Amino acid sequence: MNKHTFSKAAALPPALANRWWPHIEATCKRFGITTPAQQAAFIAQIGHESGGFTRVTESFNYAVAALPAMFSRITPALAFALGRKPGERAVPLERQMRIANIAYANRYGNGDAASGDGWRYRGRGLKQITLLANYRECGHALDLDLVTHPELLERDEYAALSAGWYWWAFGLGKLADAGKFDEITRRINGPAMEGAEPRRARWAVAKQALGA
């Protein structure tokens, strides 16, 4: 894979391809994402997670109706109080923080909602590394103190490397070589399989570009 085939596989305009290619190349080398099948699945999955390589932090700008479906801990009453209402262009930051803190409380090392860990360890990087325990493990692998400085995953280099670490740590390359793309989605997103169809569409484009 070179920059041209990466650009085609990820369906990126030149500016985004130039921005991300050095980091994707380094990540693939470091974490052994080497076969066309692995690279196609990797690009498709992180392309979906990052909104087409355009964001490296999780947004909680959800409409009222979308919140309970996205986060089981957000009740309809909480969704009405915290979600984006008609006439609002975006959920104010304070309410986004409350959504994150409730949704991710007491999970994988996070404290309760009052601790602020949900917002502090919200999704970051091209894979959207989430929750304290995952930040800690990723930090160990990358030799970074991500517990104290979770914002490091917003840097392009570490945003890409953190995605490679997750791919390697959870053995997703073997699934990619076996063509088990939906199982990769399940490992990343859980039983809900959020975005299954858009992910498959990205995978089809990537496979064609890389000859996978």
206 and 155 part of one domain:
yes
- Please say if the pLDDT value at position 191 is more than 90: no
> What residues are paired with 63 via a beta bridge?
84
51 and 68 part of one domain:
no
Backbone angles phi, psi at 143, to 5 degrees: 60, 50
Instruction: Tell me if 22 is assigned to some domain.
Output: yes
Provide the pLDDT for residue 189.
84
Instruction: Tell me if 140 is assigned to some domain.
Output: no
Q: Which two tokens stand for residue 210?
A: 């890389």
Confidence of residue 79 (pLDDT cuts 50, 70, 90): very high
Question: CA angle 174-178-181, nearest 5°?
Answer: 90
Residue type for position 94: E
Instruction: Tell me if 158 is assigned to some domain.
Output: yes
48 and 80 part of one domain:
no
Beta strands in the chain (DSSP E): none
40 and 69 part of one domain:
no
Closest to 104 in 3D by CA, of 81, 128, 80: 128
68 and 52 part of one domain:
no
Domains of the chain: total: 2
**pLDDT tens profile 128-174:** 999 999 999 999 999 999 999 999 999 999 999 999 999 999 999 99
Instruction: Give the span between the Cα atoms of 208 and 145, in whole angstroms.
Output: 38
Instruction: Tell me if 129 is assigned to some domain.
Output: no
Instruction: Tell me if 87 is assigned to some domain.
Output: yes
Instruction: Tell me if 144 is assigned to some domain.
Output: no
What CATH number did the domain enclosing 177 receive? 1.10.530
**pLDDT tens profile 86-137:** 999 999 999 999 999 999 999 999 999 999 999 999 999 999 999 999 999 9
Q: Which domain holds residue 75?
A: 64-120
Q: End of a domain among 105, 120, 135?
A: 120
Instruction: Tell me if 132 is assigned to some domain.
Output: no
Q: Which two tokens stand for residue 86?
A: 């008609």
Q: Read off the pTM.
A: 0.93
51 and 23 part of one domain:
yes
CA torsion 137-142-146-151 (nearest 10°) is -130
Instruction: Tell me if 45 is assigned to some domain.
Output: yes
